Amino acid sequence: MAADISIPTTQRAALVRELGGPVNIIPDYPVLKPGEDEVLAQILYTGVCQSDLHTARGTAPGADGKPILNVKLPHVGGHEGVGRIVSLGPSSASVPEVKVGDLVGIRFLARVCHECEFCTSQREQHCVNATNHLHHEDGSFQEYCVLDRNYLTPLSPDIDPVVVGPVLCAGVTAYKAVKNAGLSPGQWLVVVGAGGGLGHFAIQYGKVVGANVIGIDTGQVKKDFVESLGGRFLDFAKSPNVVEEIKTITNGGAHGAVVCSGSGRAFTGAVDMLRIGGTLSCIGIPPGDIHLTTPLATIIIRGLKVVGNLVGSMEETLEAVELVRQGKVKPHIEVREFDELPHIYEMLEKGDILGRVVLKVAT
């Protein structure tokens, strides 16, 4: 790609002017110029995440369970983007590792400090000084995005840019959740909310580690989808007792359960599906002040573990991506036009999406 590529001064972007307001595709949002230690990437494709929807609606919960309202406005979401570098900031031009034409990811994390206890222990997703593409900086729901050169997500030139975007959030989060479940080959993994973007990744990463996977969701379409991924399907709407069915199938309970759904109801009974020593690995973040209702005595006496999973580190992201590059994990995507984002949000609210929707951004 030529270094003197023509870059416009304005672009299409999906803009939310106030939380809870509509998302509008506008044609004249400014294209920023990269500053010191920055690059500019042209967005090719981007996945659409539930977190994008909840942030735009003003319902995304923070660590205290209350809605995150301290969001940059106007808001431009998107954090599963794939782009190519088209311009280098003043100091970036002298760095040989970063070149115009490189394929890069646009993830949830935008910038980290590289110095705190979390950054220095490969847990930088918890960096206390971080900024992200949901709340602080414009994300991949635009045609061009400025990125921090010191925290770029490099992507192999032989990976398919159409499919890899969702791996940068949904994929790595599911990968981390399965990893934290500590499964050995032949053990049982239950995936709750198995037919969605997170769930279909959790099934596949579970299969990679050799687990026997049960996917919980509802409907014939979800059943066919889960079974096509190698999972055993359990329809929660038809089962008289989901927990007892899981215990029967697994001869005592699952070794791990990954809850992917963003519904508080999805966590009901999740701990009871586990056998002694099992792990509940939580991904889905229900809006509102939702609590686990399991007695502490149950957790202590049965030796259970409860683990939260906030996306993943750069190292974990690249591990999750590599399994996709090798063909061991195959994202199920539906490519739609960028202008369809408002309709995609409506579909997400209804739960009408299998796998992940990917928007074609570059024209």
Q: What percent of the chain has pLDDT over 70?
A: 99
- Tell which wins on pLDDT, 123 or 268: 123
Looking at the fold, whether 243 and 325 belong to one and the same domain comes out as: no
Nearest to 77 by CA among 24, 30, 130: 24
Is there a cis peptide before residue 74, judged by omega within 30 degrees of 0? yes
Do the domain assignments include residue 100? yes
Range of the domain at 272: 171-308
CATH number of the structural domain spanning residue 129? 3.90.180.10
**Tokens describing residue 186:** 């032949």
| Number of domains forming the structure of the chain | 2
116 vs 131: CA distance, rounded Å: 14
Looking at the fold, whether 14 and 160 belong to one and the same domain comes out as: yes
pLDDT of residue 1: 42
What's the predicted TM-score (pTM) here? 0.94
Do the domain assignments include residue 239? yes
Angle at 42 between CA 36 and CA 47, to 5 degrees: 115
Do the domain assignments include residue 231? yes
| 38-61 pLDDT tens trace | 999 999 999 999 999 999 999 998
Looking at the fold, whether 199 and 119 belong to one and the same domain comes out as: no
Do the domain assignments include residue 288? yes
Looking at the fold, whether 180 and 284 belong to one and the same domain comes out as: yes
Looking at the fold, whether 332 and 284 belong to one and the same domain comes out as: no
44 vs 78: CA distance, rounded Å: 12
pLDDT of residue 2: 44
18 vs 73: CA distance, rounded Å: 7
DSSP one-letter code for 170: H
Among the ranges given (22-36, 97-111, 258-272), the one the predictor scored with the smallest mean pLDDT: 258-272
62 vs 74: CA distance, rounded Å: 20
42 vs 11: CA distance, rounded Å: 10
Looking at the fold, whether 76 and 199 belong to one and the same domain comes out as: no
Looking at the fold, whether 183 and 293 belong to one and the same domain comes out as: yes
Q: What percent of the chain has pLDDT over 90?
A: 86
CATH number of the structural domain spanning residue 264? 3.40.50.720
Do the domain assignments include residue 1? no
- Per the DSSP assignment, residues forming a β-bridge with 38 are 148
| 128-164 pLDDT tens trace | 999 999 999 999 999 999 999 999 999 999 999 999 9
First-to-last C-alpha distance (Å) of the chain: 16
pLDDT of residue 96: 78
Residue 221 has pLDDT above 70, yes or no: yes
Do the domain assignments include residue 3? no
| 301-318 pLDDT tens trace | 999 999 999 999 999 999
pLDDT of residue 176: 97
Residue with tokens 């299409």: 12
255 vs 241: CA distance, rounded Å: 19
Do the domain assignments include residue 39? yes
Looking at the fold, whether 81 and 180 belong to one and the same domain comes out as: no
Looking at the fold, whether 179 and 298 belong to one and the same domain comes out as: yes
Looking at the fold, whether 74 and 180 belong to one and the same domain comes out as: no
Looking at the fold, whether 162 and 219 belong to one and the same domain comes out as: no
202 vs 183: CA distance, rounded Å: 13
